[in-house]
Amino acid sequence: MKIFVAGATGAIGRPLIAQLLAQGHDVVGLTRSSEKARTLAEQGAEAAIADVFDADAIHSVIAICQILFVHDYDSPLH
């Protein structure tokens, strides 16, 4: 199952992604930084570099995922 995680490089996102990967899921992590995208790739996740407020970019990423995990309360994805 492919799971999208907003806030992928934050305090909640990092351990969540590690747990999801350990359970065998494919994970797409959202980040705004190419440096943090490399960290996600090293962890084994696919990185999506975009701003959470860029609706077109976000929609193209979430279209390929079956589950969305958005824990940023201010996110427009709610």
pLDDT band at 46 (very low <50, low <70, confident <90, very high): very high
Split at pLDDT 50, 70, 90, the class of 37 is: very high
Answer yes or no: are the C-beta atoms of 24 and 42 closer than 8 Å.
no
| Position 52 in a domain | yes
pTM of the predicted protein model = 0.85
Structural domains in the chain (count): 1
* Residue 49 is assigned to a structural domain of this protein: yes
The CATH number of the domain holding residue 36 is: 3.40.50.720
pLDDT of residue 35: 94
With both helix axes pointing from N to C terminus, report the angle between 34-43 and 13-22 in degrees, rounded to the nearest 10.
30
What is the average per-residue pLDDT within 47-61?
A: 90
Domain of 31 in residue numbering reads as 2-70
**Most confidently predicted of 12-16, 18-22, 72-76:** 18-22
User: What is the reported pLDDT for 77?
Assistant: 58
